[in-house]
Amino acid sequence: MTATGRSPARVAVVTGASRGLGAAVAQFLARQGYALIVNARDPTRLSETVAEIERSGASVFAVPGDVTDARTQSALEHVAHQLGRVDLLFNNASEPGPSPLPRLSELRSEDFEHIFRVNVLAPLAITQRLLPLLRTAGGRVVNISSDAALGGYPGWGGYGASKAALDLLSLTLANELKGSGISVVSVDPGDMRTSMHQAAFPGEDISDRPLPEITLPFWAWLLNRDPGEVSGHRFRAQSDRWEISES
């Protein structure tokens, strides 16, 4: 229930919402009338996002914590059940790995495992927990991918492998959930001027990259498409145009 005691018309869960793409999308969704459940590891930064959303008049509920932690996942599930529905799950929290990014031949196994826990296992676990509420609402799952999933870029092997796995996970879920009312897509948002991107290039000037707000027209387009039409597809948010190819 919201502060008014009424069930919200639409609810979105956004992970990694304290800054960058997650914060920009959470604020965009608030302006579209969604009630927000937002998550991030840093409670101070998350509170800043919450304050910004509240200024728009939207209802917002903060769940600080690491998405790989079962307690954080349980807290997200608990708040979502209190609101009674999930219309959009935006799995945005991501881990690129050590900074500067090591070559795959030098990537420690423990770092590789951590990347996969954040980028693959956590999105799946949160999706599984929220499936009943997504089914009730005919909701959407958006998993944030990367061009690194396709590029084979030196230094991006661990991150790219995790995002390639997330792409396949998204397609498989879409196929398995066909007919359930739930749609699943993966989206490459493109290069952006974010702290995560800066960490991947320490000491380099990334001021030529656009801010995450450049992706907002894409999210407006996606959320206005029929969920069944887009489910199972992979999109690039910074494309000149967005199309749904024939499967």
| Residues taking part in catalysis | 159
175-180, long-range: CB < 8 A, 24+ apart: 175/232, 177/231, 178/231, 178/232, 180/135
Q: Is 6 left (phi over 0), alpha (psi -120 to 50) or beta?
A: beta
